[in-house]
Amino acid sequence: MLIFTLKRLLSLALSLIAASVAIFFVVEIIPGDPARLMLGINATQDAVDALRTQMGLDQGVMARYWLWISGLVQGDFGISYTYRVPVAEMVQGRVWVSLPLAMYALLLSTLIAFPIGILAAAKRGSWADWLVMGGTQLGVAIPNFWFAMIMVSILAIKYQLFSAGGFPGWDDPLAAMKALTLPAFVLALPQASILARVMRSSLLDTLSEDFMRTARAKGRTARGAMVHHALRNAMIPVLTIIGLQFSFLLAGAIIIEKIFFLPGLGSMIFTAITQRDLIVVESVVMLLVFAVILVTFLVDITYALVDPRLRRRA
Amino acid sequence: MKRILTGASVLALLASGAIAASTSLTLGDQLEPPHLDPTAGAAGAIDTVVYINIYEGLTEFAADGSVIPALAKSWDISEDGLTYTFHLQSGVKFHDGSDMTASDVVWSLNRARAEDSVNAQKTLFENIADVTATDDTTVVVTLSTPTGNFLFNMAWGDAVVLNEGDDVEALKTAPNGTGAFTFTNWVQGDSITMSRNEAYWGEAAKLESVTIKYISDPTAAFNAVMAGDVDAFPTFPAPENLPQFEADPRFTVIVGSTEGETILSTNNKMPPFDNPLVREALAHAIDRNAIIDGAMFGYGTPIGTHFAPHNPAYMDLTAQSNYDPELARTLLAEAGFPDGFTTTMKLPPPSYARRGGEIIAAQLREVGIETEVTNLEWGQWLEEVFKGKDFGLTIVSHTEPMDIGVYANPEYYFQYDSAAFQALMDDLNGATDPAKRTEILQAAQQMISDDYVNGYLFQLAKTGVANANIRGLWENAPTQGSNLAEAYWVD
């Protein structure tokens, strides 16, 4: 288990280094001078040059990469070109929108997917199965930005039950949760549909295994066999999907954050790119890559804990 | 299914109607400012928040665009137009409690014109030779050459007075001005809140607090207004939605003018646009009304030169470049392009440019000019078009007030190089007599119109929407900022 973990850690470190190089140099080739963008078209060239010096943009690319990466290792994300405040400070505010939103969505997704996935598998071929399969097909197919706008039109504009968007901050936790509810639901729906379908097919695979017949033969009820034998064995693919979905929800909520004007990481990256706030783009994308790689690493470790065969093979 | 239904009813319980207090106002705006120091950035969004409301200058713009006294209650100008003596208001305090004195003014102006200054409008200060405080409430500014629009220059957001010795880096997130509102809070990515300054030297603000909420997406902006999340959206991003607001008694639509001359910028050094006949043909190939109707849903005033129509010195020269495709074809043939030519049109993100660009491309095709249209982001636009001058045509709104002076700079991106025009601008700078200034400004308008420097399209309208019970919001936008101290609610 120790060797397995070490190997995984090494691959995690290598991925991070490769990612940092890719991110930095891809961002560097975006055309556009951050200093000129800030000062606008009437500014004199010497004012722009003065700002470039202030931002450290007059140094070479390699020097800036080294500064950035050595700072990152020490937990220093750099200073935003545009806002002139530490990136870490900016990220902190945003993480407390994006992370709870991702977790809320994942929770909703699991709460919806598990019961209906199990129901569809247990009653395979019944009307319930048909309903679940049809419904989830629709759930995957509906674009979530469109669904978001429909929800806003009905719940926020027509009935005024919710705000059309925005985030009041965590001072009032109830208001904050309420502000996140619609976006989380919209994000959760396609994820739940995918998860329910994976749950169903994984369960069906397990249900046809010999050990299930054995379990029933030794006197387990259908429900008991399902809970104690089938569900546990069907969990690996489901865990994989949940891991992937979490990464996706954390980094991929840009459009939903735009529609609900939530101050999350996605909208922050979006604005930073248009403002050529390169250091923010680099650091935040790096942070997200780190989060995704970390989740993958944790899922890998969990597999090995669940299934001893995996660590011997690795 | 039952579980989902229970969930929904819990959500419904969570929902409670927000009641707008009549002493606070929530405004929507599209762009969040990068920081809050108007003396270190061009972003109009900075001025939208802080100009007049938080920071004040020696002079300021009134709602109609005229220049009125602010921190300077009066001034004397010497005969030769070189010495301005400003008499400051007394008893003015910064929000941190310290007194605003003449030395703060000296410090602020010197900082703006210093060698390492990052002021986005450094040219406003370039003629200042010396700034001295003769006593606590008197500042004497000496100019190197007469600058007719010096009082106007001092009204810009870039010329506001800061507290001497304040940490300017800290001011970027916690401004310390003299205005009727004090900065309260900034939830980055979401909103900025300011509160009434109870110790304000002038007439106190009517509202207790103002929150500006940032909503960049036009659809989200529409939703936020409809759902009552914001009380007003002074510069509403989607003109196509305005008729819907107009029909709804809950809202009023506010239409005013801005300082934004929207022009089809033409690269005067790039063939074939270096030929005046080609530029003249271009001017006659454009149907301004079709562009205003098609791209701006009817909001906007046609212009024939680079000048704001609400300015008293404005000349209506639209007839000189009237829509006449037949004439355009004749002129093109005369210039040696009977079959037209192909050029590039690079468009920045605003919808006036993207939508207007499509319409103009179609109109130019009518007279034989083919355009390769490229959509650029602001960063790319600044790099390729503004700095690199690698473009044939582009569409942009020049939003700085009274910016006809940029035509005197041959290095400016559209590269108009006319000794006559440059001499005219020198004369303008030397003139302080209003009648004389008007005369020169009109000659300048006529000259760029005669030279067909750019295609002059329309003055950008300011279209906003507000709750019908709000009064005192500015109709026009003489600058990006507006005085919110005058806003209030009626029942």
Rounded CA-CA distance A149/A239 in Å is: 31
Predicted pLDDT of residue B9: 43
Region B415-436 average pLDDT = 90
Candidate from A39, A153, A264 with C-beta closest to B42: A39
Phi, psi of B398 (to 5 degrees): -90, 105
B434: distance to nearest CA of chain A, Å? 25
In chain B, pLDDT over 90 holds for what percent of residues?
67
Of B339, B406, B415, B350, the C-alpha closest to B378 is: B350
pLDDT of residue B258 exceeding 80: yes
Which B residues in the span 85-124 are in contact with A, Cβ-Cβ below 8 Å? 115-123
Which A residues in the span 151-210 are in contact with B, Cβ-Cβ below 8 Å? 152-153, 156-157, 160-167, 169, 174, 177-178, 181
User: Which positions in chain B touch A44 (Cβ < 8 Å)?
Assistant: 122-123
Q: Residue A163 is encoded by which pair of tokens?
A: 């705000």
Predicted pLDDT of residue B18: 41
Predicted pLDDT of residue A63: 86
Can you give the residue ranges of every domain in chain A?
2-73, 87-310
Helix axes A231-251, A265-274, angle to 10 degrees: 30
CA A155 from centre of chain: 26
Report yes or no: B190 at the A interface, CB cutoff 8 Å: yes
What is the pairing mode between strands B59-61 and B24-29? unpaired
Which A residues in the span 14-53 are in contact with B, Cβ-Cβ below 8 Å? 30-34, 36-44, 46-47, 50-51
Predicted pLDDT of residue A292: 85
A206: distance to nearest CA of chain B, Å? 26
Q: How far is CA B351 from CA B253, B262, B335, B432, in A?
A: 20, 12, 33, 39
pLDDT of residue B19 exceeding 70: no
Which residues are within 8 A (CB) of A73 and not within 5 positions of it... i.e. 6 or more apart? Answer: none
pLDDT band at A252 (very low <50, low <70, confident <90, very high): low
Region B424-449 average pLDDT = 91
pLDDT band at B4 (very low <50, low <70, confident <90, very high): very low
pLDDT in tens, B300-346: 999 999 999 888 899 999 999 999 999 999 999 999 999 999 999 99
pLDDT of residue B238 exceeding 50: yes
Number of C-alpha atoms within 13 angstroms, CB side, residue B399? 19
pLDDT in tens, A159-216: 888 888 888 888 889 988 999 999 999 999 999 999 999 999 999 988 888 888 888 8
Rounded CA-CA distance B465/B479 in Å is: 18
Q: Residue A56 is encoded by which pair of tokens?
A: 């450290």
Candidate from A37, A164, A259 with C-beta closest to B382: A37
Check: CB of residue A117 under 8 Å from CB of residue A199: yes
Region B100-126 average pLDDT = 91
Rounded CA-CA distance B463/B300 in Å is: 9
Predicted pLDDT of residue B5: 41
Q: Residue A198 is encoded by which pair of tokens?
A: 């994976």
Which residues are within 8 A (CB) of A37 and not within 5 positions of it... i.e. 6 or more apart? Answer: A275, A276, B378, B379, B382
Predicted pLDDT of residue A312: 65
Region B462-469 average pLDDT = 92
Report yes or no: B379 at the A interface, CB cutoff 8 Å: yes
Report yes or no: A93 at the B interface, CB cutoff 8 Å: yes
Candidate from B119, B380, B403 with C-beta closest to A47: B119
Check: CB of residue B335 under 8 Å from CB of residue B273: no
Give the mutation candidate from B223, B346, B375 for the A interface (greatest A CB count, under 10 A): B223
Name the DSSP letter for residue A186: H
pLDDT of residue A226 exceeding 90: no
Q: Residue B347 is encoded by which pair of tokens?
A: 């468009």
Locus of tokens 């300015």:
B311
Locus of tokens 């003249």:
B280
A18: distance to nearest CA of chain B, Å? 27
What does chain A come to in residues? 314
SS (H, E, C) chain B: CHHHHHHHHHHHHHCCCCCCCCCEEEEEECCCCCCCCHHHCCCHHHHHHHECCCECCCEEECCCCCEEECCEEEEEECCCCCEEEEEECCCCECCCCCECCHHHHHHHHHHHHCCCCCCCCHHHHCCEEEEEEEECCEEEEEECCCCCCHHHHCCCHHHCCCCCCCCHHHHCCCCCCCCCEEEEEEECCCEEEEEECCCCCCCCCCCCEEEEEECCCHHHHHHHHHCCCCCEECCCCCHHHHHHHHCCCCEEEEEEEEEEEEEEEECCCCCCCCCHHHHHHHHHHCCHHHHHHHHHCCCCEECCCCCCCCCCCCCCCHHHHCCCHHHHHHHHHHCCCCCCEEEEEEECCCHHHHHHHHHHHHHHHHCCEEEEEEECCHHHHHHHHHHCCCCCEEEEEECCCCCHHHHHCCCCCCCCCCHHHHHHHHHHHHCCCHHHHHHHHHHHHHHHHHCCCCEEEEEEEEEEEEECCEECCCCCECCCCCCHHHCEECC
Which A residues in the span 239-298 are in contact with B, Cβ-Cβ below 8 Å? 258-264, 267-268, 271, 274-276
Q: How far is CA A27 from CA A265, A283, B384, B408, B483, in A?
A: 17, 11, 18, 37, 39
pLDDT of residue B14 exceeding 50: no
A298: distance to nearest CA of chain B, Å? 31
Phi, psi of B210 (to 5 degrees): -130, 130
B203: distance to nearest CA of chain A, Å? 31
Cβ of B357: how many Cβ atoms within 10 Å?
Answer: 24
Check: CB of residue A207 under 8 Å from CB of residue A222: no
What is the pairing mode between strands B455-467 and B301-302? antiparallel
Class of domain A87-310: mainly alpha
pLDDT in tens, A44-97: 788 888 888 877 788 888 888 888 888 888 888 888 887 777 888 888 888 889
Tell me if A38 and B41 make a contact (CB, 8 A cut-off): yes
Check: CB of residue B276 under 8 Å from CB of residue B401: no
Tell me if B378 and A83 make a contact (CB, 8 A cut-off): no
Region B264-276 average pLDDT = 94
Burial string for A260-290 (b: 16+ CB within 10 Å, else e) reads bbbbbbbbbbbbbbbbbbbbbbbbbbbbbbb
Tell me if A167 and B386 make a contact (CB, 8 A cut-off): no
Region A230-252 average pLDDT = 83
Q: Residue A302 is encoded by which pair of tokens?
A: 């969990």
Which residues are within 8 A (CB) of B276 and not within 5 positions of it... i.e. 6 or more apart? Answer: B451, B452
What is the pairing mode between strands B393-398 and B341-347? parallel
Rounded CA-CA distance B222/A234 in Å is: 46
Check: CB of residue B45 under 8 Å from CB of residue B31: yes
Region B286-297 average pLDDT = 93
Cβ of B364: how many Cβ atoms within 10 Å?
Answer: 24
Locus of tokens 């288990």:
A1
Of B179, B212, B190, the C-alpha closest to B44 is: B212
Tell me if B216 and A43 make a contact (CB, 8 A cut-off): no
pLDDT of residue B13 exceeding 50: no
Q: Residue B79 is encoded by which pair of tokens?
A: 């005969």
User: Which positions in chain A touch B117 (Cβ < 8 Å)?
Assistant: 47, 50
Rounded CA-CA distance A296/A302 in Å is: 10
Which residues are within 8 A (CB) of B83 and not within 5 positions of it... i.e. 6 or more apart? Answer: B77, B140, B141, B142, B143
Q: How far is CA A11 from CA A4, A8, A55, A216, B337, in A?
A: 11, 5, 34, 43, 64
Tell me if A41 and B121 make a contact (CB, 8 A cut-off): no
Q: Residue B11 is encoded by which pair of tokens?
A: 């959500």
Candidate from B18, B41, B216 with C-beta closest to A39: B41
Amino acid occupying residue A19: A
Q: Residue B181 is encoded by which pair of tokens?
A: 């509102």
User: How much is the pTM?
Assistant: 0.78
Candidate from A36, A164, A274 with C-beta closest to B227: A164
Amino acid occupying residue B237: P
pLDDT in tens, A265-276: 888 888 888 778
